[in-house]
Each structure stands twice: as C-alpha cells, then as structure tokens.
Structure 1
Amino acid sequence: MVLKIILVLFYILSVIISIKLILENRDPSKTLIWILIFMLFPVIGILAYAALGRNIRKIKMNKAYKMANNMKKENLLFNLDEMKELAQCQSTMIKEGKLPYSKNIDFRVLRVVSLLLNTGIFPFTINNNVEIYVDGNEKFKNLIKDIRDAKDHIHLEYFIIKDSEIGEKIKKELIDKAKAGVKIRIIYDDVGCWRFWFHRKFFNEMRIYGIEIIPYLKGKITIPIGGQLNYRNHRKIVVIDGKIGYTGGINIGDEYIGKNKKFGYWRDTHIRIEGTSVYMLQMIFLTDWYYNTKKVLLKENLFPKLNDKGSCMMQIVASGPDSDWESMHYAYFYAICQAKKSIYIETPYFIPDESLLKALKCAALSGVELIILFPKIADHKIVNIASYSYFQEILESGGKVYLYNKGFLHSKVIIIDNFMASTGSANMDLRSFKLNFEVNAFIYDDNIINEIKKDFMDDLENSEELERNKFENRNTAMKIKESIARLFSPLL
C-alpha cells in the first residue's frame, strides 16, 4: 500500500514537471524524451531529472544578476563597466560599417565580432602577441618560466589538477613565489578534481603559505538536488601580473606531457597571450572568484597599463549555463555557414546538435572542404562511440574524417577559410556549448591562423582517413552500440 502511494506521488510529480517542461519551450525532442521517461520509469525519471534535467541556465542567470547588482552597490565594477562601454561602442561602430584599427577586413569577421559583442561582453582587441603550443611540454616549460618571473599575482583556473609529476613542479614554483610575497589564487573544478575529496595534502601544503584555493561549484553534497554534477567549470586560465595569459585545452596532469602509457603522446593546443586580451581572461577569473567566494577583487594592480605587444586581433569568449546566449555555439554556427573554401575541425569529442550538424553537412554538400580530425584512441568510451554515429552523416555529405594515430588528440580547434580560427577549452559537443563553463579565443589574424592551420596539416600527416566504404560495412553490433550511445548524447 505504501509503495502504491509513493508511486502515485511520483506520477503526480512527473505530470507537474512535464507541464513545466512544456511551458519552458525547450527543444521538443528533449522534452518528449523526458516525458516518456517519466511515464515509463517515474521514480528513475524524477531522480535523473533532479540530477541532470533542470534548466540551470535560468536559475544561474537570476543568481548572476543578483550578484552583479551587489557588485554595483559596492561601486567596484569600474573595469567591467568599462568593458561594457567598449563592447557597446564597438557594436555601434560595426553597425555603421566601421571597425577601428582595421582596413579591408573580411565582412565575415565583422559579423562574427558583432555576434559575439551582442551575445556577451566580449570586446575585440588588437594589442596582442600570441604564441601557440602543440603539447603540454611546450606549455609548461613557458608557464614555469613566467611563474618564476611573476612580481605581483598569479591566478590559475583549471578543470583538472592532479597530484602528479608536473603538478608537483607547479606546486613547488607557486610555493616559492608565495614565500616571495606574490599573491596566488587557484580555482579548481570540484568534480574534475574529485581525487582531492580524499587526498587533501596537495592543496593543504600550498595553503600553509597563504595560497588561496577554492572549488568551483562544490559538488559532493549538491549533486542529488542541484544537478551541479552536470554543469562543470571546464575553463583553463592562467593570468600572471595582469600581463600574461594562458588558455587552451591542457590541464595539469602527467598525461598532458605524454607520460600516460595508454595514451602516449598527448597532442593538444594551448596559447600564451601578452596584451589587452589578458584583461578579458582576468575578468573571467575574477568573476568566477566572486561567484564562489562573494569577494570582490577588482583592483587596479590586476589591470596594469600595457605597452604595445603586437597586432593580433582577437576576442576572448566565455560561455556557460549562466549566460544569456550560447555564444560559442552561435558563433561556430554562423562561421560554418559563411565558409567558402574550407572548414577544419580538431576535437576529441564530436557530438553536435542538429543545427551544427546540418550546417556542416550543407557546407560539405555545397563543395566546401570539410575535414574533421578525431582521436583513434578513446579516453571516454561512450562519447567516442556516439561520435561515430555522427560521422556517418558527415561522410555521406562529402566531408572527410581522419583518425589521429600518433597518440591521443585532445586539441580543440576550428578554422574557417582564412578569416577565423578558434581554440580554447570548448569541444565540438553539446556539453561544451550548453552545459559547461568554457573559454575560447577567437582569432582573426592571418599569421596566427596560418600557424594553426599548419599545425592542423601536420596532424593530418599523422592520421588515417576513415574511408566511407569500409565504415559503412562495419558490423551490425557496432552500429547498434553507436545508435544507443547517440540516444544519450545530450547527457554525455
């Protein structure tokens, strides 16, 4: 009798949630899937919805607005307000057909820049020098040197930090700088760094020397009722003295320097920036710090005056469930639709939504060269299997897929013709576009784009083509696995 009452209550709750989902005007297919789950498995459905299904974007938007109002009351938003004014000014100039500092610029660049200005506070900057690294060894060699040269502060934000050989090296350098009086702050993702739930010595040793370390969206207690397991901080940001910034796909762990036997060489993309765009990385870090600590850190020493560093035009773009718009998703969609000659994509996971998949297929069918580089080795089995179900459609439309076989490919890059390249933490998947907190650099500089394209072509030399005929003749069991995995792709 008690079980029947509980089941009836769950059915009633399922009906209420279903009505709520319908009124939210979400993607119809996702809404129908949830309703079907509620009807067939009400108990499991309610629990799954509590953990994974809530529209966290609206919830977090309301919280973000309240936090912004609190910051305004304290009159400590001078840097953010300046960025807003700059973005508004740039947007107005683009509408008038003008773009400061640039001549004969590709019309498509204007449109992507404008889109990113209108979907968030992402002003473009041109006073930048950019270095590109193709693996963790390059990145960490330069990062350690910059840490040693730090004078005022060091800010780090990572999805994964491991107590590892490279982790110990970074820790030692940070402790040395903390002893010298440099202020150090670290944000880590609580789920990405789940090992530290049980082994706290690594962080505690740094805290002894005054290094401030905080988790982003602490997940252990809130997962069952808040769904926070599904919304992770996937960003990789380093800011040193407000003058040097790093972002890309490389976390802190030995696999990123090729010391994991399963993966071997780890191919990734990371960039080092000197110039005005470092301010944007700084603002993202400071906003994330405030979001988790309620402490405002907007001080003038964090935004020092910068000399001329270079002429690379770029935008730093952040996205997450607390954003009004899915900025990177929209920018990728528009840029793909504007391609005339080529679309090159490197991604460890390929799970596009219907709009991106259709845009890619349209481009290939119209004669645009579409090449997707994907790892032959899988680090997440189900995601890897689901990705192959989408490759079927890419190959049918005339696109090409290559499997990287020199090691593991973790690079996140998209290059459209020669007018835009983007790299950062975002994968070509639904999780990066809709669920995770991400950061990417959109680059509009010919020299840097050509360098990224050269790296792509080098990777192509270390890859084998996924031939359509052979792929279509794969066994039935594999096709079934791919189709089942694809059903769960919105949650992967």
Structure 2
Amino acid sequence: MWLVYVILIIGALIAWMVVDFKLGRSRFIRTRTRRNYGDRYSDITLISRGPELFDKMFYDIKNAESSIHILFYIVQNDHLGHRFLEVLEEKAKQGVEVRLLMDQLGSSQVPKSKVKLLKQAGAEVAFAQKVKLPHLFFTSQQRNHRKITVIDGKLGYLGGYNVGKEYIDENDRPELSPWRDYHMRMEGEGVLDLQAEFSIDWHRATQKELKNEPLYFPPAAKGEIRHQIFPTEGVNIEKFFGEFIDDAKHSIVIGTPYFIPTSHLMDKLLAALDRGVKLEIIVPNQADHALVKEAAFPYFRPLLEKGALVYQYMNGFYHGKLMIVDDHFCDIGTANFDQRSFFINLELNNLIYDKNFIDIVKKEVAKDIKESDRLTASDLQSVSVFTRIKEKVASAISILL
C-alpha cells in the first residue's frame, strides 16, 4: 500500500511542477519588459581566456572614477570571488558608487560576511530572480544568466564568463580545465545599452530607479564596429536565430556548451543543409552537468546524416556561445543554443555586423576546431543502452537542462 502512496505523491508533485511552471512562465511573459535597441557603433575587443579577462576587468575597475555597475550569474566562494568582492569594496571605500547584482541561486555560495563588508564600505548589493510565491518551481528555474559590467558609464563588458577559479583554469575537475569561453570589452555607444539593461534588472531586484540619472548615461563616443545589444527573456531568441539561419548562403558556425534546439530551429538547420550551407557545431567533449551531452545526440543524428560537421572540444571545457553566419553576422553573448536559454532564462547577446571583427572570431573558432575531435554518425549509432536511456530521460526534461 505504501508504494501506491509514494506513486501518488510523486505524480502529484510532477503535476504541480508542470502547472506551476506553465503558469509562472505565462505570468512573466505577460509582465516582462521588451526592449529593441538599434544599431550602435563601439570599439569591441574579444577576450577568450579567463586569466586575461579578469586581469583587464580588475584593472578597469580599479581605475573607475564615478560608478561601477556589475551583474553576474555566478560569483563563487573561492579566491577569485573573494578578490573580486575585495576590489569592489576598496573602490566603494574610495567613494565610487558600486552596485553589485547577483543571481540568487547562481551566487548562493557568496559568504554573507563578504556581502556585509561590501555594504559597510558603501556599496549596494542585491540578488536577482529570487525564488518566491506563487510560482515556486518556475522562479527556481528562471535564472538571470546575464553578465554585465559597466564602469563610469563609458566602459562595458559582456560575455560568457562568470566569477570563480574554474574560469581562470583552476577547476577542481581537471578534465574541465582550461575553460574556453568568449567575453567582450566595449567602449562606445553600446555601453549605454548595457547600462540600460543593468538598470532594468537592478530596478526589478531593488525597486530603485537608475535610468534617469545622467551620471550613468554620459555622452558616448562613436566606435568603429556596428553592433546591436539583444536582450531576451523567454521569447524572441528562437525566432531571431531562425531568421539568421534562413539568411545563410554559405556557412553557419554554432558554438555552445549545450546543444538542445527546438523543433523549429532543427527544421531551419536541416533546411540550410539541404540548400548546401556548410554547418559546423562546436560542443564540449566533457560535460559539466548530467545528461546535457546525451541530450544533444538525438539532434546530432539527423544533422550528421545531412552533412553537418560536429566537433567535440577536447582541450578542457568549451563554454563559448556564438553563432557566425557567412561573413556578415556574428552573435556572442550569454545565451546557449538550448531551450533553457530560449524559453526560461534572462539572457543578453551582442549581434555584430563587422567583417574585421568576425574574421578575428573565425580565427579563434579555427583554433577551437583544431583542438576538437569530429563526431560521426557511426559514433552515435554504436552508443550503449545506458546512453540511450539517458537520451530518453534528457529529452523528457530538455527545457530544464
């Protein structure tokens, strides 16, 4: 009899999670703020290694004169996370306005003592996307996955890196090191859009308004690279990526740690292969979470059959998030090519329309491919029964992976 009760309880729990998720997402989409930023011109530098990124970022933070606004999905409780908080604390003591926003679950390990010291120094600290009623399950799943840094309203950072020792190649799991990702340092018109995005997320978390303060939105110099800041919040990105895939004439490159497309995007990719477009996909060989590697296999099989090239990155962990279409469009940001980024998380990407910058990115991609092994259709035909079971489980919960 107890088994019947257990089954009923599990069934009721699953039913509650499904209803909670659907109602919570529907409610958020009705109340979300949609932004459409226009073309901007900025000077953008690509950074593809963590140690270099944090050396540059900490140097820029230390030289801030008026304000520092930072949002990260993850800040770890380790020596890099502590150093990051201490640098901000020192700037707050110097009288610079410091505001730090962290995702509640992603940064849940940040010590309260460190937050207290930061606040005592004069900084403001808040947590985004708190788990709350009435939709506990949905709010536990929807994360603010953005990574934004804005210094003095003039200098910005955006990309895939979080703050923690694994991102500077000191992972406790050696197979996930070095960490491969992409981040951008930006000066110019686009920084004001980064500031606007930070202000919106800050207001959601604190109810404090920043957008009307001229100090945070100084006149911006025009840079060399045409680009567009593209925020997404559970909608838009699937349609947007589909349009760029449709526009491809010669080649598409997708780099992502998690390849879990929608049926709509799979149709677009298969159609691109049918019309002769070369499709290259870079994913990690080593997975950092359970089931995410196997979740991609059912999508890879039909793509490989039509001639797609799938590369499994072998030199550490590949966490890059990029799409390159022909020679005229490149997308780099925080969104993975998966359903969690498409339908749940808050993401922020940068759409770049500059051939010289795209050439730089393509050289980095060529390095990634050189450090990868080709995945073949026969590789996926010979997987074990256990792997097939994991594929089925991953497919059933794909939106949550």
Which interval holds the TM-score relative to the shorter structure? over 0.9
What is the CA deviation profile of residues 395-426 of structure 1, one whole-angstrom value per residue up to 9, with x for unaligned ones? 11210111000110001011000110001100
Aligned counterpart, 2:400: 491
Aligned counterpart, 1:242: 153
Aligned counterpart, 2:18: 49
Aligned counterpart, 2:375: 466
Question: 1:43 Cα shift?
Answer: 1.3
Separation in structure 2 between the aligned mates of residue 222 and residue 380 of structure 1, nearest angstrom: 28
Partner-residue secondary structure (3-state), 1:442: strand
- The change in CA–CA distance for 1:305 and 1:205 in structure 2 (over 3 A counts) is same
Aligned counterpart, 2:170: 259
Separation in structure 2 between the aligned mates of residue 302 and residue 426 of structure 1, nearest angstrom: 26
Partner-residue secondary structure (3-state), 1:227: helix
Q: Does 1:210 align with 2:119?
A: no
Normalised by the size of structure 2, how large is the TM-score? 0.93
Q: Which amino acid aligns with 2:206?
A: T
Question: 1:226 Cα shift?
Answer: 5.8
Rg comparison, structure with higher value: 1
What is the CA deviation profile of residues 438-460 of structure 1, one whole-angstrom value per residue up to 9, with x for unaligned ones? 00000001111111111001110
- Report if aligned partners of 1:415, 1:422 keep a CA contact under 8 Å in 2: yes
Matches within 5 A, 1:165-204: 165-196=79-110, 199-204=111-116
- Report if aligned partners of 1:50, 1:226 keep a CA contact under 8 Å in 2: no
Question: 1:61 Cα shift?
Answer: 4.5
- The change in CA–CA distance for 1:330 and 1:306 in structure 2 (over 3 A counts) is same
Normalised by the size of structure 1, how large is the TM-score? 0.77
Separation in structure 2 between the aligned mates of residue 53 and residue 202 of structure 1, nearest angstrom: 37
Aligned counterpart, 1:160: 74
Question: 1:491 Cα shift?
Answer: 2.6
Aligned counterpart, 1:142: 56
Aligned counterpart, 1:104: none
Question: 1:296 Cα shift?
Answer: 1.0
Greater shift in the superposed pair: 291-300 or 228-237 = 291-300
Partner-residue secondary structure (3-state), 1:194: coil
Any stretches of 5+ residues in structure 2 without a counterpart? none
Aligned counterpart, 1:122: 37
Q: Which amino acid aligns with 1:378?
A: A
Partner-residue secondary structure (3-state), 2:291: helix
- The change in CA–CA distance for 1:217 and 1:204 in structure 2 (over 3 A counts) is same
Q: Which amino acid aligns with 2:203?
A: Y
Aligned counterpart for 1:60 among listed residues 16, 28, 41: 28
Partner-residue secondary structure (3-state), 2:47: strand
What is the CA deviation profile of residues 161-206 of structure 1, one whole-angstrom value per residue up to 9, with x for unaligned ones? 112221122222211211111000011110111224xx41221221
Partner-residue secondary structure (3-state), 2:184: strand
- Report if aligned partners of 1:317, 1:327 keep a CA contact under 8 Å in 2: no
What is the CA deviation profile of residues 13-70 of structure 1, one whole-angstrom value per residue up to 9, with x for unaligned ones? xxxxxxxxxxxxxxxxxxxxxxxx99x97512332125433252x42344457xxxxx
Q: Does 1:319 align with 2:288?
A: no
Aligned counterpart for 2:141 among listed residues 203, 224, 230: 230
Separation in structure 1 between the aligned mates of residue 214 and residue 116 of structure 2, nearest angstrom: 29
Separation in structure 1 between the aligned mates of residue 32 and residue 305 of structure 2, nearest angstrom: 43
Separation in structure 1 between the aligned mates of residue 400 and residue 28 of structure 2, nearest angstrom: 19
- Report if aligned partners of 2:32, 2:233 keep a CA contact under 8 Å in 1: no
Aligned counterpart, 2:190: 277
Any stretches of 5+ residues in structure 1 without a counterpart? 7-36, 66-118
Separation in structure 2 between the aligned mates of residue 137 and residue 467 of structure 1, nearest angstrom: 34
Separation in structure 1 between the aligned mates of residue 31 and residue 237 of structure 2, nearest angstrom: 22
- Report if aligned partners of 2:69, 2:150 keep a CA contact under 8 Å in 1: yes
Partner-residue secondary structure (3-state), 2:53: helix
- Report if aligned partners of 1:136, 1:250 keep a CA contact under 8 Å in 2: yes
Separation in structure 1 between the aligned mates of residue 32 and residue 240 of structure 2, nearest angstrom: 23
Count of residues paired in the alignment: 395
Aligned counterpart for 2:300 among listed residues 391, 400, 409: 391
Aligned counterpart, 1:336: 245
- Report if aligned partners of 1:50, 1:225 keep a CA contact under 8 Å in 2: no
Separation in structure 1 between the aligned mates of residue 181 and residue 88 of structure 2, nearest angstrom: 24
- Report if aligned partners of 1:412, 1:427 keep a CA contact under 8 Å in 2: yes
Partner-residue secondary structure (3-state), 2:109: helix
- The change in CA–CA distance for 1:384 and 1:222 in structure 2 (over 3 A counts) is farther
- Report if aligned partners of 2:24, 2:138 keep a CA contact under 8 Å in 1: no
CA RMSD, Structure 1 to Structure 2 (Å): 2.2
Aligned counterpart, 1:442: 351
What is the CA deviation profile of residues 275-295 of structure 1, one whole-angstrom value per residue up to 9, with x for unaligned ones? 000000000000111112111
Q: Which amino acid aligns with 2:148?
A: I
Aligned counterpart, 1:453: 362
Separation in structure 2 between the aligned mates of residue 401 and residue 456 of structure 1, nearest angstrom: 13
